[in-house]
Structure formats: C-alpha cells, structure tokens
Structure 1
Amino acid sequence: MRLKNILQLGIKELRGLLRDPILLLLIAYSFSLSIYTGASAMPEALSRAAIAIVDEDRSPVSGRIALAFYPPYFVVPRLISAAEMDSRMDAGLDTFALDIPPNFQRDLLAGRSPAIQLNVDATRMTQAFTGAGHIQSIVTSEVNEFLSRYRSGGTLPVDLALRARFNQQLNKSWFGAISNVISSITMLSIVLTGAALIREREHGTIEHLLVMPVGPVEIMLSKIWSMALVVLLASSFAILVVVKGLLEIPIEGSIALFLLGTALQLFATTCMGIFLATVAGSMPQFGMLLMLVLLPLQVLSGGVTPRESMPEIIQIIMLAAPNTHFVILAQAVLFRGAGLSIVWPQLVALLGIGAVLFYFSLRRFRQFLR
C-alpha cells in the first residue's frame, strides 16, 4: 500500500464530485438551509399559535384572560362572536378558540366552578398538545390572581425552584439544530461514498482501476478520506456559520473535540456506505438500502428521543451503531461543554466500530472487484 496512490485516487474522487452538480447541491442544502429551517421551525415548539376568544362575559376577569395571550407563543388574540367560532375553525384560521361564558365572573365570586370551553384544532397536532396546556396554565393563573384580591390564597407547602442547565431558555431549536447536523453528517457520508463506488461501476472506470498497480485497500481508503474530508469541512461550516452564527446557539464545548468525534464517525459511516454500495446492484437499490439503514440510525440512536425511553433490548442493540455514540458525544461536548476525560469512551467506541466496519467492508469490496 502506497500513500501516494491513496492521495491521487482521493483527488480523483474529489474531481468527480465537483463534476456532479446534484451531489454538490445536496451537500450545500443539507449543511445550510436544512439545518436552519429544521431548527427555526421545530414542530414541537409553540410559536405564534392562532387563538380567538369569544368573550360573552365582558367582565374584568375575562379581559385579564384575553390580555394574557401575547407573542411569541401566541398571536394577539382575535375577539370574535360565538357564531364565528365554528366557521373560523373549519376554515383553519384559528388553532384555539376560547369561549368565556356569560356571568363567568359572578359565578367565580359566588364560589361556583364555571366552565370555559376551549376548542382545539387537533389536526395541528404538536401545537394542539402543547398549546392546550399553556392555555390552561394561563387561564388558571389569571383567575387565581383575580380571586386573590377577594380571598386569601393558599400557601404552597413546598417552593420548587427550577434551575434549567445547558439550555436556560428551554429553546427546542437548540436541540433541533444539533440533531440536524448529526443527521446530515450520517446521511451525506454514506451517500457520497456509496454513490462514488456505484458511479464508477456504472461508468466502467472500476475496470480501469483494476489494471493499474493499486490494491483494493488503496481504492477503498481513497474513497473514505476524500468523502470524509468533504463532509468534515461541510459540518465545520454548519457548526460555525449556521448553528453558532445565524441561529446564535451557544457552543459550550470544544469544537475541535467535536470534529475529532466527527472524523471517527465519518470513518465508520463511509465504510458503511462502501459496504451498502457493494451489496446494491444499482443506484435505485442503493437508495432503498439507504432508507432501511438511515431510519433506525437516526430514530433509535437518541438523536430524536432519549435512549432511556426506548425498550432495553433496543438500547443494547443500538450500542453497535456508531450514531448512538456520536449523538452522546455531540450533545455532551456542544451542549454541556464536556471534555476529553468525559467523552473518551465514545471516541474509543467509534474507533472500534469503525475498525469492524472497515474489515467487513474491505472483505466485501474485494469480492466485489472479482
């Protein structure tokens, strides 16, 4: 094995990538606009939800409730009549419609428990779940403050002091941005290496390589370092420019340590891409295999939901996936500012998984060349 051959073959891969505008567009989109939109339009976050209020009481307490809804969680409430409520919701103009009944304040002061009707457009699932809880909390708080002027409020036996660490604002876009960066790193590394190998087979250039004084290890390593370098540079741009610059998400830990983990992750996933390309007979088959591999890697690795909430058998199986360890490393370094003394087990795990994938990919690649 000669390093000069690996270098020259890798440069050839980079030149081939530069002549493929579709892949270049995919790289640019995945590490810029995809991350920005995925973070700024997180579906779980309640942002500028449309709400209308039917105030049939016209009392001070109903006015307090109407004034309690304001941006950024809700738009300024629109006061409508009871006849407009159903038609506006049918037209999709309002996600929430709050109906305050007549004599609401009088019943409150009389010690009764009047009911307020909240209509929710459940087709907007994420806002429906989170928004209903917000509205209930706001209405309860305003009513309690109003009643405290007339009656003594009860004192809570315990005062719970909430201290949110690493994300004091509980901003879900922070999690979404890093999750999208991890997904793009995994997807592009597999796609680029697999597409490079399949493209050579379809164009017939793989036969030209076989008559040259280069071995399978040199060919495979050239594809690994060249495609990994492209994704590593793109992920650096995403972290520094998109995440830290445009989205203004603070990075607590060392970016260099994160990029070291990214390099080990790319070593594993590029080997995986070569393995899948040798199994697939064509680009459409490679795309189908990619879907079967990417979905479990992204959904079950802890990048979408915490691993602790998954069945124990799934947690054990996914320890064999590089994404599981990379998600733990990325969140620990970028969010919590963890150092090498904390994330070294994940680095070792990524290196070990990458070595195993390299071994099996090389065996399969040698069979593919015969």
Structure 2
Amino acid sequence: MMNIFRLGIKELWSLWRDPMMLVLIIFTFSVAIYSAASAIPEALNHAAIAIVDEDDSPLSLRIRSAFSPPQFQHPERISLSDIDPGMDTGRYTFVVNIPPGLQADLLAGREASIQLNVDATRMSQAFSGTGYVEQIIQYEVAEFLRGYRAETTLPVSLVVRARFNPALDKGWFGALTELITQITLLSIILTGAALIREREHGTVEHLLVMPVTPGQIMVAKIWSMGLVVLGAAFLSMKFIVQGALQVPIEGSLTLFFAGTAIHLFATTSMGIYLATLARSMPQFGLLIVLTMLPLQMLSGGMTPRESMPSAVADIMLLAPTTHFVELGQAILFRGAGLGIVWPQFLALIIIGSVLFLLSLRRFRQAIVNMA
C-alpha cells in the first residue's frame, strides 16, 4: 500500500509539472461545460422572423404581436416580393405569409391557410422553431375565435406537467450531461497520457528496477488520476453548474460522486489499456477519438437508448458510460436514491473489474516487451 501511495504521489507531481494537461483540465471542467449549457444548438433563441400581412385585420395584428423575444426577434413586416430575396440572403429564418381575407374566412366558417416559409439550412432552429410558430398561430386563432364562437372550447383540455425541469430549460440538462461526458474523457486521457509520458521520458525503465509490481504501478495511476478528475468534477459542479449556471440538483451529490468514483475505476483502466496499444501520444489521441465517439453518442446522454436499434442498445450495456449516464440522470435530474440506482452501481463494479483485469494483463505484457 505504501508503494501504491508513493507512486500515486509521483503521478500527481508529474501532472503538476505538465502545464498543458493542467490547462486541459481547467478548460474542460469550466469553459466547456459552461459553453455546452449556454449554447445548446437546438434551443430557439432570437430567431429572425418576418411577416407578410396581406389581411391587415385585428386577427393578423394579433398574430404579428405574438412573436417576441427571447425565442424570436421582433418580427419585421415585409411585402410579398421581399420573401424570396430575404430567404436567399439568409436574412430571415422564418417568414409567415398571412393571406388576404383570413379573418373573414374564419368568421364565416370557411377553411383558411397561412403559409410558413422556413430556411431549412439552419437545421436546429428550423426543426424546433417550426413547432413554435405553429403553436403560436393556432393559439392566437383559437383565442380570437373564442370571442365569437362559444363552441370553440374543446370538451377535453390537456394539462401538461413538466417534471424535473418545469421551465423546460435545456441548459440544465446540457450542463450536467456535459459534466458526465467530460468525466469520462478526462479520466481516459489522464491515465493513458501518464503511461505514455513514462515511456517517452524513459522513466519506465526506472520503475522496472524498483521493488514494485505492475499491479502496483497501475493502481497508483488509477487512484491518482481518478482523484484529480473527481476533485475537478466536484469543483465544476459547485462553481460552474450550481454557481455560474444556477442549475438545481435534485438528488444527493454524495451518491452521485460515489457512482463517479466507481465509474472512474472503469474508465481509468480503459485509459491504461488504450495507452498500452498506442506507441505515441498522437496514436493515443486517435484511439481516444475512436473510443469516445461511440461512448458519447450511444450511451444515452445525447439520444435516448429507446430510440436506438435494439442491437446497438444491447451492445452498449457493456460500456461503463451507459450505466454512468443512467445513474447520473436518475440522481441529478430525478433525485433517485440508492434503492433505484443500485443496478447501475453493480454493473459499473462488474465492468470496472473486467476492464481492470484486462488492462493489468495487457500492461504486464507491455512491461515485459519494454524490458
């Protein structure tokens, strides 16, 4: 245990003397998380909209005044001939064309249509904004007609209760999801880079002549780099997520970081395994790209696992990130306790143990080759 402790202290001093790694840690757990929460790409924010009002009636005026910040810019009234030039130059994302006689047709019980032109090259705003525009227009038309027809009220009303995020603020989920992703990324990078740094600096040979075993060397790297990531994640949670972004946390942070520690046991072992496959830091970087993309995209953080093909969802059960995302979302978003997330804890322990044994075997082989 003393060998493991001293080797871990050596790793911490080596990391402290590596300014680029320190900058990466600070950036990842501060700027990256803040940016992910405050610049969610699918969020509709100040979308450019114009309105062609050929009806010029109280109803059309009501529709025009319904579009306001922060979802939309103040609508600009344009003529019919300005639609194509405005869309071609990218000046407007949405153009609503209100035809003449709209109010008269609706009051007479005749069918009427409103044209919505969308710049689909702006995919994120086009996707979410179209639904916003449709809901706003339907609501304003229904409210207008309610003053003239009593039967417009539907016999069934839909009462929506948004749990865990009443304001539907995507920044809440963006910050926590990015924190979970960065914990995985940094733990793999730091442990793998620590091993490759030993090889590049020639200090592996020094370790081989010391009375330490490969298992002690590996465990020292795991606990030291895992401790760094755990500490950085805790500070990020307190000062960035809860402080700067004001994201409320529903569950126990103690339980979440206990799950984080188990997850780090698995991902740091994975980082060592990848480092034994790579011969240099650039090769290690390429392996991280090939590893992190599926771990990030298919673990359930970006897309719900229910929306994936069943084969992919089943395969990703072997990845530690799948269970870490599940327990993280359950604890942080829904306030779940250990009685709910214990299957994820157990899965992480099993996966981490398997990854540790595989990495230890590979690490021993790599040391024999170095000797």
Matched, 1:9 2:44: no
Code of the residue aligned with 2:51 in structure 1: it is I
Aligned mates of 2:133, 2:8 — CA distance in 1 = 58
- Secondary structure of the equivalent of 1:53? strand
Q: How far is 1:341 from its partner?
A: 1.6
Equivalent position of 1:183 in the other structure: 181
Equivalent position of 1:37 in the other structure: 35
Equivalent position of 1:310 in the other structure: 308
CA RMSD of aligned residues (A): 1.3
Task: Identify which of 289, 292, 301 aligns with 2:290.
Answer: 292
Q: How far is 1:124 from its partner?
A: 0.9
Aligned mates of 1:164, 1:272 — CA distance in 2 = 38
Aligned mates of 1:253, 1:108 — CA distance in 2 = 50
Task: Identify which of 189, 208, 211 aligns with 1:210.
Answer: 208
In the TM superposition, 1:244-323 aligns within 5 A as: 244-323=242-321
- Secondary structure of the equivalent of 1:335? helix
Identity between Structure 1 and Structure 2 (%): 62
Q: How far is 1:28 from its partner?
A: 0.8
Aligned mates of 1:351, 1:199 — CA distance in 2 = 28
Task: Identify which of 80, 83, 89 aligns with 1:82.
Answer: 80
Aligned mates of 2:367, 2:271 — CA distance in 1 = 16
Equivalent position of 1:324 in the other structure: 322
Code of the residue aligned with 1:359 in structure 2: it is L
Aligned mates of 1:110, 1:158 — CA distance in 2 = 25
Q: How far is 1:208 from its partner?
A: 1.1
Q: In structure 1, list runs of 5 or more residues that go unmatched.
A: none
Q: How far is 1:31 from its partner?
A: 0.6
Aligned mates of 2:109, 2:332 — CA distance in 1 = 52
Aligned mates of 1:366, 1:312 — CA distance in 2 = 37
Cα deviation 1:269-317 (Å, max 9, x = unaligned): 0000000000111112111111111111111111111111112222221
Aligned mates of 2:95, 2:160 — CA distance in 1 = 31
Task: Identify which of 113, 118, 126 aligns with 2:116.
Answer: 118
Equivalent position of 1:159 in the other structure: 157
Matched, 1:197 2:192: no
Equivalent position of 2:352 in the other structure: 354
Code of the residue aligned with 1:330 in structure 2: it is G
The list of structure 1 runs, each at least 4 consecutive aligned residues, that deviate by more than 4 angstroms after superposition, is: none
Q: How far is 1:35 from its partner?
A: 0.7
Q: How far is 1:56 from its partner?
A: 2.0
Equivalent position of 2:129 in the other structure: 131
Matched, 1:142 2:140: yes
Q: How far is 1:190 from its partner?
A: 0.3
Q: Count residues with an aligned counterpart.
A: 368
With 153-162 and 92-101 compared, the bigger mean Cα shift is at: 153-162
Equivalent position of 1:50 in the other structure: 48
TM-score, normalised with respect to structure 2 = 0.96
- Secondary structure of the equivalent of 1:54? strand
Code of the residue aligned with 1:41 in structure 2: it is A
Work out whether residues 142 and 152 of structure 2, in 8 Å CA contact, stay in contact via their aligned partners in 1: no
Equivalent position of 1:222 in the other structure: 220
Code of the residue aligned with 2:99 in structure 1: it is P
Q: In structure 2, list runs of 5 or more residues that go unmatched.
A: none
Q: How far is 1:81 from its partner?
A: 2.3
Code of the residue aligned with 1:98 in structure 2: it is V
Matched, 1:366 2:367: no
Task: Identify which of 70, 73, 77 aligns with 2:71.
Answer: 73
Aligned mates of 1:210, 1:321 — CA distance in 2 = 32
Code of the residue aligned with 1:138 in structure 2: it is I
Task: Identify which of 231, 234, 252 aligns with 1:233.
Answer: 231
TM-score, normalised with respect to structure 1 = 0.96
Aligned mates of 2:160, 2:145 — CA distance in 1 = 26
Q: How far is 1:323 from its partner?
A: 0.6
- Secondary structure of the equivalent of 2:334? coil
Aligned mates of 1:157, 1:79 — CA distance in 2 = 37
Aligned mates of 2:26, 2:92 — CA distance in 1 = 36
**In structure 2, do the counterparts of structure 1 residues 257 and 73 end up closer, same or farther at CA, with 3 Å as the change threshold?**
same
Cα deviation 1:69-125 (Å, max 9, x = unaligned): 112211211222223332222222211111212232223333332322211110111
Q: How far is 1:38 from its partner?
A: 0.5
Code of the residue aligned with 1:75 in structure 2: it is Q
Q: How far is 1:62 from its partner?
A: 0.8
